[in-house]
Amino acid sequence: MGSLPLLTILIAIPLIAGVAALFVKANAARWLALIATLLDLALSVYLWVQFDPNGAQWQFTELNPLGNGKPWLGIDGIALVLIELTAFLMPICIGASWRSIEKRVPEYMAAFLLMEALMLGVFAAQDLFLFYIFFEGGLIPMYLIIGIWGGAERIKASYKFFLYTLLGSVLMLIAMIYMVQEAGTTSIPALMVTDFPVDAQKWLWLAFFASFAVKMPMWPVHTWLPDAHVQAPTAGSVILAGVLLKMGGYGFIRFSLPMFPEGSAMFVPFVFVLSGLAVVYTSLVALVQTDMKKLIAYSSVAHMGFVTFGLFAMNRQGIEGAMMVMLGHGLVSGALFLCVGVVYDRLHTREIARYGGLSDNMPGYALLFMVFTMASVGLPGTSNFVGEFLSLVGTYRASTWAAIAGTTGIILGAAYMLLLYWRICFGTQRHKDAAAMPDLSAREWWLLAPIALGVFWMGIYPESFIRPFRNDVGRVLERVQHVAPHYDASVVPGKAKVEAH
Amino acid sequence: MGRFAPILPELILSVGATVLMMIAAFTGRRGSSLVSWLAILLLIAATAALVGAPSHAGPIFDGLISADLFASFGKAIMFPAAAVAIIAAQGWFGKEHEHSSEYSVLILFAAAGMSVMVSATSLISLYVGLELNSLASYVLASYRRTDERSAEAGLKYFVLGALASGILLYGISLLYGFTGTTNFTGLASAFARGAPSLGLLFGLVFLLAGLAFKISAVPFHMWTPDVYEGAPTPVTAFFASAPKVAAVLLSTRVCLDALAPATEAWRQIVIFAALASIFLGAVAAYGQNNIKRLLAYSSINNVGFVLIGLAGAGVAGASSVLFYMAVYVTMTLGAFLCVLWMRGADGEPIEEISSLSGLSQSRPGFAAALAVFMFSLAGIPPFFGFWAKLVVFNAAVKAGLLPLAVAGILGTVVGAYYYLKIVKVMYMDEPGAPYSRVREPVQGVLILIAAIAVSPLGYLLIGPLGTLSDMAAGSIF
């Protein structure tokens, strides 16, 4: 650990670049944003290399600069991998907006850079209110991104996004105030080992759940997501699906599980029912979509169902699987939105029926799209297989019924993704304009190929990604072990299988 | 002479205002600029006179007023706010208005009244301060007497204000009749003597009703939108800031000092007024297309949040009220200075929200400042308004008022909608007719200072402001 405040630098680079971008011309703003995000990526890779998986739980810690000696920033393995994901996707987002955003470029780049700073802050914050400020502050740039650069229905979508997520979060704030008064500290590491009274845990858990379930999003509070995704510009969708949704899962694993283990256990059946519904119902909804972005948006909700299944199975496979689903989904859904963006930039429509037979005139595109489709389906060798398999194994250990619902979702997932791929890339070319589209440009290759590499790396050697957070998952497990649902179909919390024989 | 040291700010203001009135009378319109700068100077001098004031001078003049830290905190917010209101008027009344120099004098008298209000520890000085402030305010509201809306605002304010004063006086006379004292300490010991009698309770309710009118809390808020809309914009900026601080601080002192033993009795009233103000202020603002009306409802909404802190009671509650008011005044003055800059091509003021459309493209700095104030008023982090809300909710939770805190915070979501609407109009709509540029560098600097103070940089102030408000709150117990 050097003496440099690395995390502060990590957050400050995009922040400063974002403010600077407001004062320069369009092209300079593009380059500024690209350079800043690449610098951040390099710095985050350095953090990854320096991070000692067997070392202290919290590394690169920094104290409050106002000098009261409280913890301020610091990361464990869970936060580290999510920071990697954010830093990896941001340059790709900037690249994806290089040509497709023509109006008010400096403001756009500034909004994205501020967004990055706030997202990194969410994962790096060690102070409860600092976390909340970053968590909520992210609404503002996203609101502007959807509202200014979005599609035809952008205003409605931006309001819905903002107010929906705000409504979820404010209850969490009251819960945080209560926790701070109860425990007498705002430090997240300290709160993670605080035992709150069981009665209070129930309410605290619900308040946090309201926030994270909306962010995640879980059925039935997912309805803001399809609107936001469809209306947002491509890069906005990538960030939304790639990182913002992960804040919900991160919240569960950072707050709900370790801080309120009894509360979590009490609501395991509730979460399982909602996750099962999410997986099955939203997959069915995805099947009948005619809009490409909407289809992928619903598939996101379904995939997030695997995350909540895994997390609330409260065993090692489940939680590690949930983390891997989050990482894998961050890459794959981001890439799928980019794939939509590629054809949208050419034809300006997201209607699935307007395309067809693209494998003839866009073979490169068809190849990469195939990779991401297969990854989304969960084909072995790709990132999502690892996560989904692990989280379903974990779920099975907690409840066979939940696992059945989950596996059904995998089958349905294969159905809607393959159908989408078939209707876009195969079949006859019915539309002249679609048949005349050129294949991927060099820029687009540069955007998609690194993600494809990441997808395979995660699928073939997931150890590089699991190693940093293995011990941290162990620490969460220590907190929840005594209440985890056990080994049989019963999801009654804490009851071991003793009545057999 | 030492006896008068604690009331030095009031002396500066009242003597200075009288002298300035003479100067204004003899120089006429030519002297208006001179008078307004002199008035600002007086306000600065009065603020400076607060420095080094005894932290707890105790009751003086037979318990009429108390120049404690609580009062000083309020004055330190109100005097600069009044000065900003004078600056806001520069270049506003100048060209077409007669008697523009008297505006500054009226503000000074109002400031003197407010400063008595925040120091009052007796029902008599309370009433005198309140009326001095109100009388100056009635005149200010109708200051543009040739404008029908301004005249209407003044009349409405006067009639309703007189009614409220009557209610207040009735409450005061009941309290005096049943306790035999007008002194806050005496009242407190009367309330502490077992369950309050029916007469005392009536007195308490009438007193609070009169005060609720002054802070424009629901259900006594009806005058606010009309007066805010009709009054000239600099006057509206003044109404929304300094007198509001005075009335809120006065109510805080009354509730936590004079009525402290009857906390359970007044708390239910305050809780009702808080929630009603938050929700009515949020819902009623939806349909507004006049920005001054919208900000009027916003101020009603914000009073609701202050009352949540007040309901928390104790040092934490009083401290949260002080903290909130300090941040609120900054945000509100900033927002109104921006409204002041909404001028059409002919230089005439425009108040329609739709005229802001696409402002972010024609005037990016202006739009960004207004957006910062809107997000901050809505209490969205990372802006400083969030921290102010956090502080009042913290006080409520500390007092065990969890349901109140939950209901109140849900109100912020309802309210967020209309603040977002202004941001939407500025950032997402197509540009409309551009505003003409206002050449008032001082106002520009003030907007910049306010915007920086409520930006995330404001968090650096948490430490000092929190310590000060804690100390000030401690001085009334």
Compute the half-sphere exposure of residue A99: CA atoms within 13 Å on the CB side of its CA.
10
Distance between terminal CA atoms of chain A?
55
Inter-chain CB pairs, A–B, below 8 Å: 77
Q: What is the pLDDT of residues A273-322, one digit of tens each?
A: 999 988 999 999 999 988 888 999 999 999 999 999 999 988 888 999 99
d(CA B117, CA B245) in angstroms, rounded, equals: 10
CA nearest B461 in A: which residue? A66
3-class SS at A62?
strand
Name the CA dihedral angle for A127, A133, A134, A138, rounded to a multiple of 10 degrees. Answer: 170
In chain B, residues with a C-beta closer than 8 Å to the C-beta of A66 are: 460, 463
A182 shares contact with chain B (CB less than 8 Å): no
d(CA B122, CA B187): 9
Residue position matching structure tokens 């440009």: A441
Cβ A95 vs Cβ A112: under 8 Å: no
Give φ, ψ of A294 to 5 degrees: -65, -40
Task: Report d(CA A175, CA A212) in Å as an integer.
Answer: 13
Q: Which residues, 6+ apart, have CB-to-CB distance to A364 below 8 Å?
A: A439, A440, A445
User: Is A167 within 8 Å of B394 when comparing Cβ atoms?
Assistant: no
Q: Within a 13 Å sphere around the CA of B408, how many CA atoms are in the beta-carbon half?
A: 35
CB A455 within 8 A of CB A383: yes
Name the nearest CA neighbour of A8 among A481, A16, A57.
Answer: A16
A104 and B361: CB-CB below 8 Å? Answer: yes
Looking at residue A373, what is its pLDDT?
92
Scan residues 350-389 of B and list those with Cβ closer than 8 Å to A: 360-361, 364, 375, 380-382, 386
What one-character DSSP code corresponds to residue B64?
A: T
Write out chain A residues lying below 8 Å of B390, CB-based: 129, 173, 177
The one-letter code for the residue type at A37 is T
The shortest C-alpha distance from B397 to chain A (Å) reads 7
Average of pLDDT values for A73-89? 91
Beta bridge pairs of residue A62: A73
CA dihedral angle for residue B163, residue B164, residue B168, residue B169, rounded to 10 degrees: -30
* Residue A478 structure tokens: 């220590």
Give the pLDDT score at A186: 86
Contacts with A, B 94-153, CB within 8 Å:
none
Distance from CA of A123 to the nearest CA of B (A): 16
Write out the DSSP string of A427-471.
S----HHHHT-----HHHHHHHHHHHHHHHHHHH-THHHHHHHHH
Q: State both tokens at B194.
A: 């077992």
Which tokens sit at B281?
């202020």
Chain B interface includes A192 (CB < 8 A): no
What DSSP line would sit under B182-250, residue for residue? Answer: -BHHHHHHHHHSSSPPHHHHHHHHHHHHHHHHHTT-TTS-THHHHHHHHS-HHHHHHHHTHHHHHHHHH
Question: Does the CB of A107 have a partner CB in chain B at under 8 Å?
Answer: yes
Span B173-200, average pLDDT: 89
pLDDT grade for A500, boundaries at 50, 70 and 90: very low
Q: Is B424 on the interface with A (CB under 8 A)?
A: yes
Chain A hits for B361, CB-CB cut-off 8 Å, are: 104
**Tokens 């999510």 sit on residue:** A82
- Can you say how many angstroms the Cα of residue B307 is from the centroid of all Cα atoms in its chain? 13
Judge whether A129 and A216 are in contact, CB under 8 Å. Answer: no
pLDDT range class, residue A135, cuts 50, 70, 90: very high
Give the predicted TM-score (pTM) of the model.
Answer: 0.91
Name the residue with higher pLDDT: B194 or B77.
Answer: B77
| End-to-end Cα distance, chain B | 28
Shortest Cα–Cα distance, A171 to chain B (Å): 7
pLDDT at B247 over 90: yes
Residues on chain B touching A118 (C-beta within 8 angstroms) = 382
Could you tell me if B320 lies within 8 Å of chain A, comparing CB atoms?
A: no
Q: How far apart are CA A46 and CA A84, in angstroms?
A: 10
A290 three-state secondary structure:
coil
Interface membership of A483 toward B (CB under 8 Å): no
d(CA B257, CA B252): 8
Cross-chain Cβ contact B420/A159 below 8 Å: yes
Tell me the β-bridge partners of A71: A63
Which residues of B are less than 8 Å from A129 in CB distance?
390
What tokens were used for B101?
């120099």
Please return the burial class of B23, using the count of CB atoms within 10 Å of its CB with bins 0-12, 13-18 and 19+: middle
Over its C-alpha atoms, chain B yields an Rg (Å, rounded) of 21
Answer for the pair B39, B86: CB distance below 8 angstroms, yes or no: yes
Residues ≥6 apart with Cβ < 8 Å to B437: none
pLDDT over 80 at A496, yes or no: no
Instruction: Count the neighbouring beta carbons within 10 Å of the beta carbon of residue A361.
Output: 15
pLDDT confidence tier of residue B54, bands split at 50, 70 and 90? low
Q: Does A148 touch chain B (CB under 8 A)?
A: yes
By mean pLDDT, which of A155-159, A264-268, B435-439 is the weakest?
B435-439
Q: Which of B382, B393, B416 shows the shortest C-beta gap to A174?
A: B393
Mean pLDDT of all residues in B233-248 = 93
pLDDT in tens, A17-48: 999 988 988 888 889 999 999 999 999 999 99
Distance from CA of A169 to the nearest CA of B (A): 10
Q: What is the pLDDT at residue B308?
A: 94
A147 and B424: CB-CB below 8 Å?
A: yes
Q: What is the mean pLDDT of residues B57-66?
A: 78
Interchain contact A242–B (C-beta under 8 A): no
Name the packing angle between helices B314-340 and B69-89 (round to 10°).
10
Closest CA to A325 of A376, A275, A281: A376
pLDDT in tens, A379-419: 888 989 999 999 999 898 888 888 888 899 889 999 999 99
B contacts of A171 (beta carbons < 8 Å): 406, 409-410
Any CB–CB contact under 8 A between B406 and chain A? yes
Interface predicted TM-score (ipTM): 0.88
| Contact (CB<8Å) B364/A136 | no
- Identify the three-state secondary structure at position B145: coil
Task: Compare B306 and A398 and report the one with higher pLDDT.
Answer: B306
| Helix, strand counts (H, E) of chain B | 20, 2
Q: Is B463 on the interface with A (CB under 8 A)?
A: yes
Task: For residues A330 and A328, give the distance between their C-alpha atoms in angstroms, rounded to a whole number.
Answer: 5
Residue of B nearest to A148 (CA): B428
Nearest CB to B382; choose among A137, A171, A178: A137
Whether residues A143 and B420 touch (CB distance < 8 A) is answered with: yes
Residues B427, B220: Cα–Cα separation, whole Å: 35
Cβ(A388)–Cβ(A378) under 8 Å?
A: yes
Nearest beta carbon to residue B413 from set A107, A144, A166 = A166
Q: Which of A103, A119, A166 is the best substitution to test chain B (most B C-beta atoms within 10 A)?
A: A166
Q: What is the pLDDT of residues B90-144, one digit of tens each?
A: 877 765 555 577 888 999 999 999 999 999 999 999 999 999 999 999 999 988 8
Rounded Cα distance, A301 and B17, in Å:
67
